[in-house]
């Protein structure tokens, strides 16, 4: 069954007039715990068709900006090769002045899309919402695992990591003594959200901005359908508040939402992931005029 985001009909789902282009990436070959993220894009797209098109918070209807959904990228087992496919598809979309929205799939797919944004725009603000630092050099014999995402794009801009609550000793050693990203722990968000926002704003540069969201950055109470859940994550309104503050202060050139691993019969997680994407679109529609 062919699916498109929000179940839109022409002309609002046409490619030529679309501001946003959805790139589904059904891939989870680098998953190390619970597989299933390959089914995330389809579940998310199906759930999106049940949402209201008016966003009550921003007073916008971002769908009128146009949202086109591409055919899913055909997966290959090797994560490095898969990343190159994602990079090529993303570069094509960026080259036409549109905002790519990558839906995964495991987090390794973000390496390709972030590299594509850097190839066109140069250094970026790279905002990561995640439970994990993803700064390992290699994991399970691969340098392109979902656990290595931020290490692979380390030199592509200014990194701000939000919601982290699981990190290895190897990653802490890597960070020590380096010009490290602004790493904001989940417990900081929970205890003093305004200080976290202040730190985020101080860390932002006057650069194009890419947002990468691993859904395990959210608390498993609201997002249980992920490959590697960690307790104590970000709440729904905390997440939205952070994203809105970032988007109103930056020019967003692309974003991804990854690691949805659908649980049969538990449809609210699929819906939540779709709603998160549309909220980001709504913030962009409000703060970044066409």
- Average pLDDT on 35-58 reads 94
Q: Tell me the percentage of the chain whose pLDDT exceeds 70.
A: 97
Q: Find residue 263's DSSP bridge partners.
A: none
- Average pLDDT on 4-33 reads 90
CB 62 within 8 A of CB 278: yes
**Bigger pLDDT: 140 or 157?**
157
Q: Which CATH architecture has domain 5-287?
A: 3-Layer(aba) Sandwich (3.40)
Q: Find residue 21's DSSP bridge partners.
A: 68, 100
Band of pLDDT at residue 100, cut at 50, 70 and 90? very high
Arithmetic mean of pLDDT over the chain: 94
Q: What is the pLDDT of residues 191-216, one digit of tens each?
A: 999 999 999 988 899 999 999 999 99
Band of pLDDT at residue 290, cut at 50, 70 and 90? confident
User: Which phi and psi (to 5°) does residue 92 adopt?
Assistant: -60, -45
Judged on CB neighbours under 10 Å (0-12, 13-18, 19+), 264 is exposed
Domain boundaries, the chain: 5-287
Query: Token pair of 141, please?
Result: 């014999």
Band of pLDDT at residue 289, cut at 50, 70 and 90? confident
Band of pLDDT at residue 271, cut at 50, 70 and 90? very high
Does the pLDDT at position 34 exceed 70?
no
Band of pLDDT at residue 184, cut at 50, 70 and 90? very high
The Cα 180–Cα 159 span in angstroms is 8
Does the pLDDT at position 147 exceed 60?
yes
Q: What is the pLDDT of residues 244-260, one digit of tens each?
A: 999 999 999 999 999 99
Does the pLDDT at position 62 exceed 90?
yes
Q: What is the pLDDT of residues 157-183, one digit of tens each?
A: 999 999 999 999 999 999 987 766 689
CA quadruple 47, 272, 259, 219: dihedral, nearest 10: -160
State residue 32's pLDDT score: 54
Does the pLDDT at position 140 exceed 70?
yes
Does the pLDDT at position 30 exceed 80?
no
State residue 148's pLDDT score: 95
State residue 31's pLDDT score: 60
Judged on CB neighbours under 10 Å (0-12, 13-18, 19+), 236 is middle
- Average pLDDT on 229-239 reads 96
Whole-model pTM: value is 0.96
State residue 179's pLDDT score: 67
């Amino acid at each position: 069954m062919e699916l498109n985001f929000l179940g839109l009909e022409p002309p609002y789902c046409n490619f030529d007039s679309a501001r946003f282009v959805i790139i589904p990436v059904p891939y989870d070959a680098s998953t190390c715990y619970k597989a299933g993220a390959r089914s995330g894009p389809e579940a998310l797209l199906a759930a999106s068709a049940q949402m209201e098109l008016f966003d009550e918070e921003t007073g916008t209807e971002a769908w009128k900006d146009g949202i086109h959904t591409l055919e899913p990228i055909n997966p290959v087992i090797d994560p490095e090769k898969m990343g190159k496919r994602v990079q090529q598809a993303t570069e094509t979309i960026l080259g036409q002045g549109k905002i790519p929205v990558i839906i995964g799939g495991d987090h390794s797919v973000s390496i390709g899309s972030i590299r594509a944004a850097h190839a066109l725009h140069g250094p970026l603000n790279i905002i990561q919402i995640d439970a994990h630092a993803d700064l390992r050099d290699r994991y399970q014999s691969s340098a392109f695992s979902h656990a290595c995402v931020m290490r692979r794009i380390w030199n592509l801009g200014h990194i701000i990591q939000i919601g982290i609550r699981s990190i290895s000793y190897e990653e802490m050693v890597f960070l020590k003594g380096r010009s490290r990203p602004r790493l904001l722990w989940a417990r900081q968000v929970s205890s003093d959200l305004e200080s976290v926002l202040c730190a985020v704003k101080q860390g932002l540069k006057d650069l194009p901005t890419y947002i990468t969201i691993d859904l395990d950055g959210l608390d498993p109470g609201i997002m249980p359908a992920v490959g590697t859940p960690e307790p104590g994550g970000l709440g729904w309104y905390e997440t939205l508040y952070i994203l809105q503050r970032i988007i109103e202060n930056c020019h967003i050139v692309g974003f991804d939402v990854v690691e949805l691993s659908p649980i049969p019969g538990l449809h609210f997680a699929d819906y939540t992931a779709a709603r998160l994407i549309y909220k980001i679109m709504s913030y962009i529609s409000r703060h970044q005029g066409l």
